[in-house]
Amino acid sequence: MEFSEFKKRLVHLGVHKVESIDWPLSGQSGKERDVYLYPKPKVPMTILSLEVLGQALPFFVTARPYHKKEIPSNPHSTALLNNPSIKDLKRHLDSGQEIRLHDHFHPHIRGLFAGAKGNNFFWYPLRFTSYWYEFGEKVQKALEGKKLQFIKFCNIPWVIVVIYRIIIRTIVYIIIL
């Protein structure tokens, strides 16, 4: 889908207090955020071209659908369970209450787009932590220049990355034995 179509389908709920479930110890609790969510049941995927360091770079952008079909999915979202529609969530937020929501419900950059084959998209994951921090700042400035600062990086907590690596190594070790 074209980025303009992706953006048009997002529902803007305004600036509200949002607690990041993914980073509970990061100080993100109660942080105000401009909330945009995708209400359709299928995961939207698009490419956003940004000028970074004098190069036009294609970024893979997506958002987890805020839709009742996501209720049984992992990771589970109590915000979605308690407010199964965008209208319910809007009422909840407009009453001044905070929501706890996984970061991937918000529009986010997964990485640099590498290509597509059929319905499969390929990308190089980016994280703005560690050595990507300086690059991430430049991407964030490019987003701000296009008034797209509501789009963030998909930044998987390092604990999940470590656990994933341990699981993969264990599987490989079992296969080798």
- The position carrying tokens 């009422």 is 91
CA dihedral 155, 30, 70, 168 (to 10 degrees): 30
Q: What is the full DSSP assignment across 100-117?
A: EE-GGGS-EEEEEEEEEE
Residue pair 143/50 in contact (Cβ under 8 Å)? The answer is: yes
Quick one: residue 22, left, alpha or beta (phi over 0 = left, psi -120 to 50 = alpha)? alpha
- State yes or no: pLDDT of 10 exceeds 90: yes
Residues 6 or more apart whose CB falls under 8 angstroms from that of 10 comprise 36, 37, 38, 63, 107
The pTM assigned to this predicted structure is: 0.78
Tokens of 164: 């994933």
Q: What integer pLDDT is reported at residue 171 of this predicted model?
A: 79
Mean pLDDT throughout 138-156?
Answer: 87
How far apart CA 43 and CA 64 sit, in angstroms, is 6
84-118 tens-digit pLDDT: 888 888 888 888 888 878 788 889 998 889 999 98
DSSP for residue 176 = H
Tokens of 109: 């950059």
